[in-house]
Structure 1
């Protein structure tokens, strides 16, 4: 019987991440081919079909469920669920920060997780913010960005929604970067997934008017959603490393990411 079988699951985490990182880096390393308007979307026809499916899914299930959830659940309880989901994601952010060489970010994630877990009743209360510990958010998509992986073409994923090839790969890898997944027994290891789904459902209800204006009131909801996602994500990544956001619309001082470019 091999020694490997007796290893604690957390000990295998670096091996899993390294293997996934090598695969994902290769998958997201091709140079970008960006059009003059800053959009790289060679598979637009297929993406639009997925977008149409997502709208039908939202209209039939997600929108009414989100609105019903927000009406039935008090705001304070929604905030607690969001805090709990965010706290359980901190170990994954710590791992990604280390992979990025961001030791300050790894420290912040660690302090926030310990503080909220111990003093915040398992994370339901954001005690770390009360102690003025800054928020820190990151993911494997940002890790690939730091490593120099190209953004890749825009893609709309079923259910998940807008992404780029780099971020789509990052989301898959992030399913394996949380040490809690390897250390907690069942069913506790699934609490993070459940809390995240509840948090997303609550966000759909809480920000229903904004989401509806994009999906149902825009002249071209696909182009609008694509524009907002790319601008926000590029700004987020540019700001996270202290550089200028890679915003193709930054030469227009009057550009508004929420303005419908197809409105008459």
Structure 2
């Protein structure tokens, strides 16, 4: 599941993306929209209830809650035990370094989205981070770029589309992937296409590395939020609604941060 706080956890991505014929893709998209439309709850007529309905932006709440319950059940007997074993077996510093490696491998996606959002300074920072950490940071195991004045920042295609004023669409909870929206779901597909690691050739163990990188990233990300999710499940009156609210607020804040980043293109050290 993707986390609702901090950097988003990225689920495993296919190593060899396939291209469907355009007509087939449109057919699948149309069928999905028809299925969703059938699950949408009609807006309430009471003004107060209608305001809450619009604020939640969750017309498919009934279906989403079922997907949430399914995901929590699957997580309880799969990812959570694996994450707990991972935390027990792997020291914190090692987990932190492995998380840095995953983060560095994702920097090209951040770079392309910074370019797409029209933020050249952010794109330059992401490019420098990737170059420095891949070489001096041993592939990202050590975050040398952070100490050099280039801290990590998040970006993805969903946020880029938000900076283009593309509406988020209704809230969705995707099985084993977590909170999302129509816009962010489409953005995830774009990010898969932007990641150069999804185009690695066969041979030299690169395909095996790509699988290992994705699996490790999923486990490491789940372990990072092990205690937080357990605490939420224990304390929140309605964990589903809490996750929904936190996710929507986080995405809105991230998009605003990108829009409001008006730093000069030329880095400070150049002057």
Superposed, 1:174-253 pairs within 5 Å as 174-182=191-199, 185-186=202-203, 187-188=205-206, 191=209, 194-242=212-260
What displacement does 1:190 show? 5.9
What displacement does 1:207 show? 3.0
**Is residue 91–residue 180 contact of structure 1 (8 Å, CA) maintained in 2?**
no
- Asked if 1:47 is matched to 2:64, the reply is yes
CA distances 1:80-109 after superposition (whole Å, capped 9, x unpaired) = 111110111111111111111111111111
Match of 1:160 in 2: 177
What displacement does 1:183 show? 5.3
Distance 1:107 1:192, change over 3 A: farther
**Is residue 67–residue 206 contact of structure 1 (8 Å, CA) maintained in 2?**
no
CA distances 1:26-68 after superposition (whole Å, capped 9, x unpaired) = 99xxxxx9x5232111111100110010110111111111111
- The whole-number CA distance in structure 2 between the counterparts of 1:190 and 1:139 is 25
**Is residue 85–residue 192 contact of structure 1 (8 Å, CA) maintained in 2?**
no
Q: Which is further off, 192-201 or 163-172?
A: 192-201
What displacement does 1:185 show? 4.5
Residues paired across the two proteins, number:
216
- Asked if 1:90 is matched to 2:107, the reply is yes
Superposed, 1:70-81 pairs within 5 Å as 70-81=87-98
What displacement does 1:74 show? 0.8
- Asked if 1:60 is matched to 2:54, the reply is no
**Is residue 168–residue 182 contact of structure 2 (8 Å, CA) maintained in 1?**
yes
- Asked if 1:104 is matched to 2:121, the reply is yes
What displacement does 1:215 show? 2.7
- Asked if 1:115 is matched to 2:135, the reply is no
- The whole-number CA distance in structure 2 between the counterparts of 1:208 and 1:73 is 14
Q: Secondary structure at the match of 1:152?
A: coil
What displacement does 1:151 show? 0.9
- Asked if 1:36 is matched to 2:51, the reply is yes
Structure 1 unaligned spans of 5+? 1-15, 28-32, 244-264
What displacement does 1:113 show? 0.5
Distance 1:160 1:226, change over 3 A: same
Root-mean-square deviation (CA, aligned residues, Å) is: 2.6
Report the TM-score when normalising by structure 1: 0.74
What displacement does 1:136 show? 2.5
Q: Secondary structure at the match of 1:171?
A: helix
Greater relative contact order structure (CA < 8 Å, 6+ sep): 2
Q: Secondary structure at the match of 2:173?
A: strand
